[in-house]
Amino acid sequence: MTPARGVTTIYGFAFLSNAPSASKASTTGYSSDAPCGRHGSGGRHGSGGHHGNNGCYGNNGRHGGSFGLHKSKLYDILNKTPEERMDKLNIFTGNANRQLAVAISRHLRIPLGDADVFQFSNENIFVKINDNVRGGDVFVIQPFSAPVNRSIMEMLIMLDALKRASATRITAVIPYYAYGRTDKKDQPRVPITARLIADCLTVAGAHRVLTMDMHAGQIQGFFNIPVDELTAQIIQARYFVQKELDDFTVVATDEGFAKKARQLADRLEAPLAIVEKRRIGNNGHTEAMGIIGSVEGRHALIVDDEIDTAGSLTQAVRVVREHGARDIYCCATHGILSGPAIERLSNALIKEIVITDSIPLSEHKRLPNLTVLSVAELFAGAISRIHDGRSVTELFQ
């Protein structure tokens, strides 16, 4: 019988030989399970081969299992709990209220994230996130304060940048939510801008919103993402309890704020009065009509969610004074103080005005009788609880 040309495999390499013919499944063949076969224990796909247990793609290889480079990392990532994946906490801010963001990060004991946020000469806004946020739990702190529209655009562009940087979860922290008064169609052919802003935040990349004392509670329903609304009342109540005022009444500036004013009155264990008013036109002018409740011979604490042009507030001060109140204190969460607000408050007979730092206050607006309470610790506590998956309600108990 004429010898046939066979195949000899040595360390995974095949050579032609004059050896007797052998099948591909033989002990020395191409697909042999023998120590030197291509698929054998020493072959390309064997235990020590390129794809074997110890090979490049094997259990212990470059792309393999327990000692592999890529599969092991993928295994670790896929087997992490949600808490472990969200362990990376990042805080960023725009230019609206950097001081508040710094104070919040200080309470959290983490550095403020590095980001470039500025406006070109053509008024286009540029944002660059300089920190790695891939897989991180990111909070962007930005009140919608003056200039309002620029503050909103900075927030939206930052959300988009963080989304494209593969952040796992992005929370828009908005201490002051502008356009809160346009929450319904109260006239023909007018927009619901509060809803529009909510849609823009969601589309830009926000997974949840953290805010404080919205003008109307129903704005939460404009969002299809979770919304946590904090209140400054716990800080305000603590401040006025320390003043140890006797015989004082909490006064709501209008019927719409009566419910929230009642909550503060309950915290202070004080009676409630309500100023009747009506708003004339769209220019913010109001007219106070009278008062429901008694303030005669008592201190009055007039409360509202914000002080804008101070029209409603100064009207309430006048009515309360006419009804025999003693010292008058005013309290609000957001001190916008736009237009004639400073002039009106300076001329009003108010013993003390108490606001928070949800909106930055310029020097010319710092009246001698103005007190600013910080909400940094409150927001830091909420951010910590959201990050850890705990209840935010714990802050108010």
Question: In the prediction, which pLDDT does 202 show?
Answer: 98
Question: In the prediction, which pLDDT does 27 show?
Answer: 41
Question: In the prediction, which pLDDT does 81 show?
Answer: 55
Answer yes or no: is pLDDT of 168 > 80.
yes
**Ordered DSSP codes for 58-104:** STTSTTSSTT-SSHHHHHHHHTS-HHHHT--EEEEE-SS-HHHHHHH
- 5-24 mean pLDDT: 46
User: CA-to-CA distance for 326 and 320, rounded, in angstroms?
Assistant: 9
Question: In the prediction, which pLDDT does 392 show?
Answer: 94
Answer yes or no: is pLDDT of 11 > 70.
no
Query: How confident is the prediction for the chain on average, in pLDDT?
Result: 84
Which domains occur in the chain, in start order? 83-232+380-396 (3.40.50.2020), 233-374 (3.40.50.2020)
Residues of the chain with pLDDT > 70, as a percent, come to 75
Question: In the prediction, which pLDDT does 53 show?
Answer: 52
Question: In the prediction, which pLDDT does 26 show?
Answer: 41
Check if the beta carbon of residue 176 is closer than 8 Å to that of residue 155: no
Name the least confident of 48-62, 185-199, 204-218.
48-62
Answer yes or no: is pLDDT of 316 > 80.
yes
Tell me which of 243 and 66 has the higher pLDDT. Answer: 243
Question: In the prediction, which pLDDT does 75 show?
Answer: 45
- 224-243 mean pLDDT: 96
Q: pLDDT tens digit string along 22-58?
A: 444 444 444 444 444 444 544 555 445 545 555 444 4
Please state, as a whole number, how many other Cβ atoms lie within 10 Å of the Cβ of residue 83.
Answer: 10
- 199-211 mean pLDDT: 98
Please state, as a whole number, how many other Cβ atoms lie within 10 Å of the Cβ of residue 199.
Answer: 12
Report residue 173 as tokens: 């922290």
Q: pLDDT tens digit string along 257-302?
A: 999 999 999 999 999 999 987 666 665 566 667 899 999 999 999 9
Answer yes or no: is pLDDT of 306 > 60.
yes
Question: In the prediction, which pLDDT does 382 show?
Answer: 97
Beta strands in 6-79 (DSSP E): 6-10, 13-17
Residues of the chain with pLDDT > 90, as a percent, come to 70
Tokens 């619901």 identify what position? 192
Residues labelled as active-site residues: 277
